[in-house]
Amino acid sequence: MSTCKHCFCPILVSLELSLQLRSASFITCNLPVITIVQITVWISSISFLAYADITFQSTSDGGKGITDLKSSLQNIFAENLVEKKDDFLQTFSSECGYVQSIVSKGEMMQQKTSNGHKNDLNNHLKTDCYDVEVIRVVGSMLIGHLYSRLVPLVLLLVDGSNPIDITDPRWEILLIVQKKIDQQGDNQLKLLGFAAIDRFYHYPDSSRLRLSQILVLPPYQHKGYGRCLLEVLNNLAISENVYDLTVEEPVDSLQHVRTCMDVGRLLVFKPIQQALDSTIMRLKQENLSKKSQTSSFRPPLSAIEDVRKALKINKKQFLRCWEVLIYLGLDPIDKYMENYRTIISDRTRADVICKDSAAGKKLTEFPTDYDEEMAFVMFKSKTIDANSIEMEENQNNQEEQLKQLVDEKMKEIELIAHKVSLPAL
């Protein structure tokens, strides 16, 4: 394999799929024939073009023919799928400047913590970000060409993901790249990951910043690069004074990192300290097990608004962080664990079980002189029907599910609290 002197040694991402198919997916016969297929997809981290190696370990189609698998793969990779292996290998030299060509048209983003100081916040969460840069790419044509090469990775590696609309001018992409100097003294860039963001209107005269997709490529994961992207995104939200920052359906791992970062930012945010101290003091003094109804331990509205304005943390995320902040303030935590678990249980019950309060309400059609698509009647029956009986039978199951949810939430809170309270390294 030949490469030009201006590119890294080729790094490939290999995706192997071993499939056992029974007369359905790729086989066009009606017989119960089994075909064992191994598909290895190679994706270049230089050009993000792909090559698929398809191996049939055993085939028997009953004379009906087998569907062309490459056409199915092209539904994912489109024009990124290179037909011939030799042509794919050649791209390591012909496309070696692809990342540099994109980055040169972008805007360098200054990476600093949200409090304006050197990167010392939560620095116990080790990262390898000392030699990386974050580049902001705007413009539908530039984003479209780049994203068309990255979207197969999104579809394959991010659960439940869908492609963004690259024709919408509101989209931007943040690229995290690693800069190296080669033997000739030239700067070389390697793409480590990216984040797709957009803005949407918030009444009456502002906008909200939304993180829609974020992906660190598999060879570079667990090194802090995702956290670097989130830090820059937080700074961008503050510098542009958007209403707040939201994340679209974050996976558990992303939500964990995000909460660790936001808790660290809130620990040094003085405007909420008095409200937090007051909440912790109340929780230490009260015995919630003797109360039929637990008092609210949520932050005051003024604190929610201060956090949103200064740090751009939205209300839902702040409430998650608030629970961790209370946990950190209950020292020693074992002494107040029963009280703390009670407020977590009450919050979980309100968020999950009380959503079923609409049970018993029914929507029905009725004769009307108005537009049928715009008119409806909703009523709530006071009589006991089959649904209400089923609800009573499921009550015990709901309580057991609630306990499991609380257990999971407690483990997550304890893990986050442990990470953000570690001494700086």
Q: Buried b vs exposed e over 101-124: b needs ≥16 C-beta within 10 Å?
A: ebbeebeebebebbeeeeeebbee
Which residue is it, tokens 């949103």?
308
What is the Cα–Cα distance from 156 to 175, expressed in whole angstroms?
19
What is the Cα–Cα distance from 299 to 278, expressed in whole angstroms?
10
What is the Cα–Cα distance from 203 to 180, expressed in whole angstroms?
45
Which tokens is 340 given? 């703390």
Residue type, 271: P
Instruction: For residue 244, report the phi and psi dihedrals to the nearest 5 degrees.
Output: -165, 180
What is the Cα–Cα distance from 308 to 238, expressed in whole angstroms?
10
What is the Cα–Cα distance from 408 to 421, expressed in whole angstroms?
20
Told to judge if 248 belongs to the known catalytic residues of this protein, a careful annotator would answer: yes
Judge contact between 36 and 126, C-beta under 8 A. Answer: no
Closest CA to 328 of 409, 410, 417, 242: 417
Beta bridge partners of 294: none
What is the Cα–Cα distance from 47 to 95, expressed in whole angstroms?
6
The DSSP result for 210-245, as a single string, is: EEEEEEE-GGGTTSSHHHHHHHHHHHHHHHTT-S-E
Judge contact between 124 and 133, C-beta under 8 A. Answer: no
Closest CA to 99 of 195, 24, 187: 187
The phi-psi region of residue 62 (left if phi > 0; otherwise alpha if psi is between -120 and 50; otherwise beta) is: left
Q: Which of 83, 107, 240, 248 is catalytic?
A: 248
Judge contact between 199 and 170, C-beta under 8 A. Answer: yes
Q: Is 74 helix (H, G, I), strand (E, B) or coil?
A: helix
Query: Where in the sequence numbering do the catalytic residues fall?
Result: 248
